[in-house]
């Protein structure tokens, strides 16, 4: 069975004072039997060391080390206690022009450092309206998931770009169609394609989480805004535990 993962991507939010929120989360969910992954900004990763949660970076460089001012390597993330890293988030693809090939290279860097890569994919609104969603997903899966991926080292997050931070959520039928498609592609390509965890991301809230987690091949969520407070994240975690 794919593992259930409730993942919070804090994006460019969070100060040292925010860490008290993690203590509140630990009080409620410290002994959860699903994986809870927190991806704080780089500046807070080492301060998260003592939490019972899995910790991830939000990006890494494809190289191990060297002259890359402002970048962070996968090995550096592992060194401060991270066990996951997000790669290919749509905000990286858009803000930093990241390509599928670069995302594949970053994923390989993650594997080399012993990190699990959460590879993010998803279509824009124009692509959905043009009816090309599944083609986009195919191209992103083919280009950004390395051939060396397996279910232990790789999680796929489907995040339709138009659903991120907008309050717009695909219908459960739309999520079902894409997740079933991703699962089928992974099964075609990898012996353990049935075991990869597939996360949905984009405006997940306590109010819609149970419906989303009821969709076949949805094994968890990658949550942005609603992961910033325990009050908002806790009902999502509870819905995943109950799913």
Distance between CA atoms of residues 1 and 196, nearest Å: 9
Is the Cβ of residue 9 or residue 107 nearer to ligand 13P in the bound state? Answer: 9
Q: Does 74 bind ligand 13P (CB under 6 A)?
A: no
Of 16-24, 68-76, 178-186, 198-206, which part binds ligand 13P (CB under 6 A)? 198-206
Task: Provide CB contacts within 8 A for 10, sequence distance 6+.
Answer: 18, 38, 39, 40, 41, 44, 58, 227, 228
Q: Which is nearer to ligand 13P, 32 or 204 (CB)?
A: 204
Smallest separation (angstroms) from ligand 13P to the CB of 225: 4
Residue 31 in tokens: 């002994």
H/E segment holding residue 190? none
204 binds ligand 13P (CB under 6 A): yes
Helix axes 230-242, 19-29, angle to 10 degrees: 30
Q: Which phi and psi (to 5°) does residue 39 adopt?
A: -115, 90
* Nearest residue (beta carbon) to ligand 13P: 224
Looking at the Cβ atoms of 114 and 165, the one nearer to ligand 13P is: 165
| Active-site position among 21, 29, 61, 89 | 89
Q: Is 181 considered catalytic here?
A: no
Q: Which is nearer to ligand 13P, 75 or 159 (CB)?
A: 159
Under rule CB under 6 A, residue 224 binds ligand 13P? yes
Instruction: Compute the least distance from the CB of residue 240 to ligand 13P, in Å.
Output: 14
Interacting residues of 17 by C-beta distance below 8 A, sequence separation 6+:
none
When asked if residue 88 is in the footprint of ligand 13P (CB under 6 A), the reply is no
The first and second tokens of residue 96, run together, are 């930093």
* Least distance (Å) between residue 95 CB and ligand 13P: 12
159 catalytic per annotation: yes
Give SS3 for 65: coil
159 contributes a contact to ligand 13P by CB under 6 A: yes
Sign, CA torsion 50/222/195/76? negative
Which two structure tokens, joined as six digits, stand for 62? 């494809």
Residues that bind ligand 13P (CB under 6 A): 9, 89, 159, 164-165, 201-204, 222-226
Active-site positions read: 89, 159
């Amino acid at each position: 069975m794919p593992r259930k993962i409730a993942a919070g991507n804090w994006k460019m939010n969070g100060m040292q004072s925010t860490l008290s929120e993690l203590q509140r989360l630990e009080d409620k969910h410290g002994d959860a039997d699903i994986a809870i992954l927190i991806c704080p900004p780089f500046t807070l990763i080492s301060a998260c060391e003592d939490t019972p949660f899995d910790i991830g970076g939000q990006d890494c460089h494809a190289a191990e080390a060297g002259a890359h001012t402002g970048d962070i390597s996968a090995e550096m993330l592992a060194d401060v206690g991270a066990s996951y890293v997000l790669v290919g988030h749509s905000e990286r693809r858009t803000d930093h022009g990241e390509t599928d090939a670069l995302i594949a290279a970053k994923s390989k860097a993650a594997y080399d450092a012993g990190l699990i890569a959460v590879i993010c994919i998803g279509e824009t609104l124009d692509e959905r309206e043009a009816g090309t969603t599944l083609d986009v997903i195919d191209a992103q899966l083919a280009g950004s998931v390395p051939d060396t991926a397996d279910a232990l080292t790789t999680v796929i997050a489907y995040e339709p770009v138009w659903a991120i931070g907008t309050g717009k959520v695909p219908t459960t039928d739309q999520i079902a169609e894409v997740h079933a498609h991703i699962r089928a592609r992974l099964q075609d390509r990898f012996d353990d394609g049935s075991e990869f965890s597939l996360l949905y991301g984009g405006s997940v809230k306590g109010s819609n989480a149970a419906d989303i987690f009821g969709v076949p091949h949805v094994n968890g969520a990658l949550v942005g805004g609603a992961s910033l407070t325990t009050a908002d994240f806790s009902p999502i975690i509870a819905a995943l535990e109950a799913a």
